[in-house]
Amino acid sequence: MTTTRRNVLIAAPAVLAIGALPAAAGAGPSQYAAAANALWEQYCELSAETRALDVEFERARAALPAWARPGPEFMNHDGDLVGDEIGWPEMANPTPARFQGARRRVRHSLYTLKQEFEFSCMHRAPGDRPRQRAIFREMVRAFVARCREQDAERERVGVTAITARQEQISDQLDTISDQLREMPETPNAVAAAILIVATGEAHRDNPLFDDNGDIGPTALRFLQPQLSGRIAEDVRAVLDDPDQPAGELAWW
């Protein structure tokens, strides 16, 4: 679903509902307006913490040994690491592929280990299967041990703690978003919901709203005279500078 279409679904019914409210509904910082602002403040603070954690995460991940960081899945005949980057750890002491043009997998998952075991069984004599099973069991043991080593390294440099906090904040942001949408359709709550939806679908290097007739800015202009507090300030910032990259917004 496009940003335009999604914002139409969010904004249009709410704006119509607000248009039917008594004039006094937006005349001052009502109970709901204050509650919406409090939630929005929390949302912005958590978003700022998320941005800081993103920087910390990259620094922590860079401190991991190369084998514990995400990396190419294969090694070619020349000893170069090639292929898609995956998160599983690189096996200890990987060796190049035996033949020119071939690749050897150096980052396994349990699934790929099982695949290779089944392939070996298919292309060897039945009498060789006990040996293949023993090799498979040993590779699984080595894989599990390597994953534990990777977990220890991630714990050591702080990646584990940062990731846990990022997940916690993500849940908190979802909760705040739900709370804002479940509030009575007062101007502050609707404006905050529009900003959250648009932010979730925008690219950080592009404006918050696209220029294809997006109803979001129109809805925010309609609501603007009735807004208060931090929400009013942030809506004004978006409307006054519509070309500002979304990634520069305080709640990104």
Q: Over the stretch 209-221, which tens digit does the pLDDT of each residue have? A: 876 557 889 999 9
What pLDDT is attached to residue 80?
Answer: 94
Query: pLDDT tens digits, residue range 15-31?
Result: 444 444 444 344 445 78
- C-alpha pair distances (Å), 31 with each of 177, 189, 213, 224, 251: 18, 11, 33, 18, 23
What pLDDT is attached to residue 24?
Answer: 38
Work out the percent of the chain whose per-residue pLDDT is above 70. 87
Q: Which residues of 202-227 are buried (b: 16+ CB within 10 A; e: fewer)?
A: beeeebbbbeeebbbbebbebbeebb
Given a cut of 80, whether residue 141 has pLDDT beyond it is: yes
Given a cut of 60, whether residue 5 has pLDDT beyond it is: no
pTM for the model: 0.77
Per-residue pLDDT band for 122 (boundaries 50, 70, 90) equals: confident
Query: pLDDT tens digits, residue range 155-210?
Result: 999 999 999 999 999 999 999 999 998 988 889 999 999 999 999 888 989 999 87
Looking at per-residue pLDDT, the higher value among 83 and 213 belongs to: 83
Write down the mean pLDDT value for the chain. Answer: 87
- C-alpha pair distances (Å), 212 with each of 32, 134, 167, 233, 237: 32, 62, 34, 25, 20
Given a cut of 60, whether residue 239 has pLDDT beyond it is: yes
